[in-house]
Structure 1
């Protein structure tokens, strides 16, 4: 496979752009359609569609067998549409024999598919192409060293098969606004990463805090039950006979002590007070007490078993969720990363064990962000025992958004058991089944000792050219007075020595009060001052000390001051007690209110010395310094193309407008100016300017074309150096560089982009799987089966294996989770690796992968039609024509209890359907041994839902018969013979794959001029 892709890269990056073909090549014979077909149409249609009559303004006699224009092709499409719809011939005219019509529709449909490809041929012309979402994200990463979420940009689907097709990559005004926002976000993210490059923070969360929550829960339970018993005791007294009688009448089956006396709490004399412990959160409300009892009762005695488990004072067990997590989070260990922690990569470690009596199907833990919203990041098998727990390590990337405003909930990390959270009702079902099996409920399987997070420092990593330019522009970025950033951060780049930090509003007004929850001042990553405050009120000139708080290095005092001057001001000051080098100031608003956070953007921050003199740092850069910085950044952003002086002058002027007119501080003015560069055509488009004058692309353009093909990212310094030296056009050098790029981890971007789109894997996200029916499937499995496709392709590339291994192989590339899912024994480890298969295994190759079969269904049932059509398109290179508009709906058969094969027989009833389904259905039926989630089966079952007439659902079970015959081809007895026959079509499959590689890499649809390339590959 390496040879194939290397040769593709060599051809793709040929120095000469193909020239347009002659006019003669614009004549396209309608392949497969001949005079006999035309004679059939004339025989049955010419009576109405002739020169003298021309019903519908359409004539048959002037249809051409050689197509020159789209208009001529459209006339043939109208013929096909009329035949498919059954409109022609009319019912009162002589009809075509069924077999004749089926063959005509089949041949004409195939001819139209081929004709569309020919008419879309651009004769080798490559359009100037905008960066697609993947390329945009990766280009920002290479420029600034950070990755951002680009999902707010529109999808790059278009009309082509791949997101690299330049004809589909246009730019709208709405997109431009998004590019401005994302550009600024990327620069801000890069600055924060740079400023925190040497910040090392670490936190260990001890899991036994969950044990204390269990004990608090039981204390609350005991208090609630005691209160209810005391209330019942009072309610049963003769003085409340009327209340008792009413309740007994309404609840005759309740024992007296369980009657809902809480509903009449106010009418019961001497009723006991609601438990007042603040931790109980009953808020003097008897209804809350009963709600707590009702919610806790079903699982109370199961939860009590927890206290008898071992090692719960040095760790904690997690289990199936049995109660709302607000009451007791039994199903996970979670904690929030401190909001003061800077963005970056964090190592995550946890120490865990699996109980000795754990069921075999419960062995994996999920790790991710936002436990309630299920941002699943990784899955890990726990093999440690209670006597020898294991330490598992993974990682997580934290961005600025994880610490800001509405995104702060995203900084919660969690561990939980695999598969117990992806459907609300599923844990209840698991609990009920376990209780029926053992009498109490699910076993407590996973014990967690601790969960540890540690930031990875990056001071030793090289700084990208774009970020170097940003640093050059920022200088000492904090000026004398600076506004908080969007995230309420202030970064005096390089550190500023001072004693006091003052936060103030230059013109706040009488009742504009400062609402802060916390201010932190960091030096070397250490918080040297921490203070909290309540909502302040106007003191009309008075200073109010809000209390001294213990800091690491002595006391600090917090003041709030509002005066009655003409322009009243307000300030909030921290005295650090001595001069300190201040690296970062973090400000948190009260209640995390986004509205107050936006208001705080009007405040300013200054650092003072002991005598309250502002510390003055470097003044704004000169125009020459700005121009030099913008030139350096633009050159890096424009892929080594130097900007002209006119652009630099406009950028300098824009910066000054931001400073003087909008009142932005230096850093924000710089980031907004750089966002202009990142939303300019020179950044967003991959243009080959040299093609305006000649048909030879330049060496630098060759370097960029190669890099964006194999990395979805710009060329690196080695490629550009070779280009500048004129060596990249040397075939030997070009081949060597192609191999180097393929060996680089960044080539995974090409594999993901190519494979995802070539195999149409977006269908994996088109539907939700019925997990009640398919119990072993969950989000972890979905992540693994998707990754299997990519990892297998990556293995072929790394090991230089033939791409035809995707048709049939005696091995799979899986991890322990997939091995467990497929029933393959003795596979250990979370990483993907090659695993040999026994003979007669249905796995191996694309047709053995669960992801492929998942896409060939609806999440509930398999679809032989989807699967058969997919095989024709992707494996046999025989794409069927689009389905006609009047396809009979098989749902009309839902009231009948039929096998899948019997249902599909309906496709053969209409000739317009039979022409395609006689090719599609046999292949799809041959794959029926795989269920809707890709697991092997030998029987199938259909259930007809209950109706008003038939109250009981009716079912039919049958042994799957996968036998069949290819249309006009070989017969097969089972899936294995079907797969063997498909694998014999290596040339067809290789042609399909080679065409996909070239179309993806060239950024346009393939045409006649590309057929020699495809043939060579």
Structure 2
């Protein structure tokens, strides 16, 4: 906060205490300083104030007065070049408006702040099914084919937009049927087995029959004369190895141990920049993936579905064992890949052929006709990076209990022959209580019970009838909706609101026990539960999902990055960037550090590839770890790769797009859309040499100037970063980057570092924005005018020097907005 704003606020508090707050709303102040830009003739930012009276009579007026006092507090209005009020006049105005807003809020919002009966979104449904039935929903996502959820301001859990269509109901039926099937295990406990394979990994003749092409010898895959097989590129031809003993997938879902014996060969190569998609001397990255080949086609490498489960960096030519314990879903099988090899074996064969004159070993093959002999010969003499695979071993499944917890919830200790009318009704009620996340109400299940009994009477097998009942329960409103009622939340409703906030899933037994005993109304119990839940591994869902929704990461990795940024794919930067930001958030949460740290942190979390991308001192390894950014251009959220990539389009950058993104995500301000009479095409820019000059001409349009005064400065500062967040001092055409700007307050900066210093002074504005985003996510609705006083109190608490991010979560959970509906 700058000195002028601080002084103004102090004066405002003194004036308020002296009784001036009872004065009428300051219409004369508006007439003197505001109406010229927000009156009958001109409505900058689509705001008009001349119709405001001495009292606030509706919510629209309340929002306008709130905007006015916010702008006065921030020192952004009136604009620097306009007539300015004295500090005393400004303080009295702020106090008067603040008092008027407080009175109006009490009168106008008594029926607001209500979250409608909210459907579980795709992410919540996925994890609720997983936790209820003890299914691994990373391997099998029951909501994978659901239609996308509508987003409101980036958030996809807004109850008003989560409608249920006929198509979605069809998906619910299919997902429920498959979930019940996967969770049912009446057979004997699966035996843990060991599987192993050494060279060969490729086959010819009858050995390849019925195997997908991944296992076949071709121009870039051959049976070696050695006890190992070399991989050459990232593409599946010559870069992936299948595991024949488990071809067709494992018979039983569960945890398996996978071991791979491998070595890194020729990390330093003689081909110079010819292999531009591999940095000379880099470690080789081995990737373990789980794949489903059912219904696959050749164009996808004989894979229908895949999931990366682990990476290992290799630096030694001496073979070593690498081990992972991971879930493998029924029908999936392991595959080993060369994650950072050259793009494709086909390409490198062409490259080394072109280098024949420089490398005598290549010469005998250079003029040969294309075919197996030439390609195999070139690969054998190739002296570039090779991932050498000796052995692959798999053991499992490792099962902690049998049958699993999901089966026991459905069937208890019953066998199919034990099922009859009485036991079926009993199991339906037990299952429904778990699925509905609360005790059943009297006769609530009668319609489903009658349906199941009718099916039995019609001759349906008891097990099939019971499973039909389970499926119906999983499609009922009590499962797929959060029904919170109105007023103060009951214990079970509060338990669900808390668990879907911090776990994106159903409450566990301890939370439900507190709900049943009425303990959740005790703030101390709520505080303790928040701490417990944030320490639970399930809280990773909150961290990942909230950060994703807050920063609108749907475009991260979805919009193809231009070919000139090949490093983005080679070094797996998408994953590293997302990991950096979520680990940064997790760190602040676990250490209970102040939200200000999002802006002023002089450290971040990088792996080898991301450190190189940021031009930081080298680090070793693929795992993310904390490093100092002191003295560099990096520091805080705005200079992290995910922020910079999500605010670009993968090809080029726009100060307007990035400026709006920064305003929304950091300062909590969303500019209004352009006026209808302003065309989408930029104004005449003939003669404009730079983006800055183009925007200067754009700002010459009066209707655009006011918003661009806020947007452009932040966007200009971020022009020092390219579309994937690398530092740059000039554009591709050699034009220098000018990252200087001036904030609406008149404060000037030369680059991102100076802008960062100015934003750190406004950290209270960032904290308010983050508080509103977290509240929006927690409630499943937009923050309304009636929530303003709650947010105000939370921000007052967060102004304490030792208040941290975990305290902010606690403050939201014990707030009136969270505890009531």
TM-score under structure 1 length normalisation: 0.60
Which whole-Å CA distance do the structure 2 matches of 1:196 and 1:829 have between them? 43
- Rounded to whole Å, the distance in 2 between the matches of 1:810 and 1:668 is 60
Looking at structure 1, the residues matched to 512 and 649 of structure 2 have their Cα atoms a distance apart, in angstroms, of 48
Distance 1:730 1:280 in 2: 67
Q: 1:655 to 1:861 in 2, by over 3 A?
A: same
Partner of 1:330: 238
Give runs of aligned pairs for residues 87-106 of structure 1, distance below 5 A: none
- Alignment of 1:453 onto 2:394: yes
User: How far apart, CA to CA, are the structure 2 residues paired with 1:40 and 1:726?
Assistant: 55
Q: CA deviation at 1:788?
A: 1.7
- How many angstroms apart in 2 are the aligned matches of 1:71 and 1:706? 31
| Distance (whole Å) between structure 1 residues aligned to residue 657 and residue 625 of structure 2 | 30
For 2:41 and 2:469, the matched residues in 1 are separated by 70
Aligned to 1:739: 531
Question: 1:24-82: CA deviations, max 9, x gaps?
Answer: xxx99999965765567888599xxxxxxxxxxxxx99955677568999999xxxxxx
| 3-state SS of paired residue (1:700) | helix
In the alignment, structure 1 residue 476 sits paired with structure 2 residue 415: yes
1:857 aligned onto 2:655: no
Would the alpha carbon gap of residues 774 and 965 (structure 1) be closer, same or farther in structure 2, given more than 3 Å must change?
Answer: farther
1:651 and 2:561 aligned: no
Question: Is residue 2:763 matched to residue 1:986?
Answer: yes
1:1006 aligns with 2:783: yes
Could you tell me how far 1:634 is from its partner in structure 2? 1.0
CA contact (8 A) 2:664 2:670 kept: yes
1:163 aligned to which of 156, 168, 178: 156
Q: 2:252 aligns with which of 330, 342, 347?
A: 342
Q: How does 1:514-913 map to 2 (within 5 A)?
A: 618=417, 621-645=419-443, 647-648=445-446, 650-658=447-455, 661=458, 665-689=461-485, 691=486, 695-778=487-570, 780-837=572-629, 839-885=630-676, 887-888=678-679, 898-913=689-704
8 Å Cα contact 1:197-1:457 kept in structure 2: no
The separation in 2 between residues aligned to 1:815 and 1:357, in whole angstroms, is 19
119-128 or 174-183: bigger deviation: 119-128
1:416 is aligned to 2:338: yes
Q: In structure 2, do the counterparts of structure 1 residues 457 and 376 end up closer, same or farther at CA, with 3 Å as the change threshold?
A: closer
Find the counterpart in structure 2 of residue 318 from structure 1: 231
Distance 1:932 1:340, change over 3 A: closer
Deviations 1:453-509 (A, max 9, x none): 333422348954x53232238x333xxxxxxxxxxxxxxxxxxxxxxxxxxxxxxxx
Deviations 1:66-122, CA, capped at 9 Å, x for gaps = 77568999999xxxxxxxxxxxxxxxxxxxxxx99xxxxxxxxxx9xxx9xx99996
Q: Cα offset for 1:808? A: 2.5
**C-alpha distance 928-42 of structure 1, shift in aligned 2 (>3 A):** closer
Match of 1:129 among 99, 113, 118: 118
Q: CA deviation at 1:411?
A: 4.2
CA distances 1:928-957 after superposition (whole Å, capped 9, x unpaired): 22111111222221xxxxxxxxxxxxxx31
- Pick the aligned partner of 2:736 from 950, 956, 959: 959
Shift of 1:346: 2.8
For residues 257-314 of structure 1, what are the alpha-carbon distances to aligned partners after superposition, in whole Å with 9 as ceiling and x for unaligned?
xxxxxxxxxxxxxxxxxxxx77999xxxxxxxxxx99x95xx8xxx89x96xxxx622
Deviates more, 1:843-852 or 1:452-461: 452-461
- Paired residue for 1:10? none
Unaligned runs of 5+ in 2: 1-23, 66-80, 83-96, 210-215, 269-279, 292-299, 363-381, 795-821
Q: CA deviation at 1:886?
A: 5.3
Tell me if structure 2 keeps the 8 A contact 1:142–1:713: yes
Distance verdict in 2 for CA 1:279–1:155, change over 3 Å: closer
8 Å CA contact 1:160, 1:168 repeated in 2:
no
Structure 1 residue 204 corresponds to structure 2 residue 204: no
Give the Cα separation in 2 of the matches to 1:885 and 1:455: 63
Q: Is the 8 A contact 1:321 1:420 kept in 2?
A: yes
- Relative to structure 1, is the Cα distance of residues 722 and 653 closer, same or farther in structure 2, using a 3 angstrom cutoff? closer
- What is the CA deviation profile of residues 723-771 of structure 1, one whole-angstrom value per residue up to 9, with x for unaligned ones? 3333332222221121111111111111222211111222314511013
Listed as ranges, the gaps of 5+ residues in structure 1 are 1-26, 47-59, 77-98, 101-110, 217-276, 282-291, 404-409, 478-617, 942-955
Cα distance in 1 for partners of 2:208, 2:502 equals 59
Q: Paired residue for 2:724?
A: 933
Contact 2:254 2:329 in 1 (8 A): yes
Given that 1:128 and 1:166 are in contact with CA atoms closer than 8 Å, whether structure 2 keeps it comes out as yes
Kindly tell me the number of residue pairs found equivalent between the two proteins: 674
Tell me the TM-score normalized by structure 2.
0.73
Shift of the alpha carbon at 1:319? 0.4
Corresponding residue of 2:313: 382
Q: Does 1:143 align with 2:132?
A: yes
The 2-side partners of 1:197 and 1:468 are apart by 14
Q: Which residue of 1 aligns with 2:261?
A: 351
CA-to-aligned-CA distance 1:302-329 (integer Å, 9 cap, x gap): x89x96xxxx62211100279xx6xxx3
Change (3 A) 1:734 1:68: same
Contact 1:198 1:459 in 2 (8 A): no
Structure 2: how far apart are the matches of 1:700 and 1:30?
Answer: 48
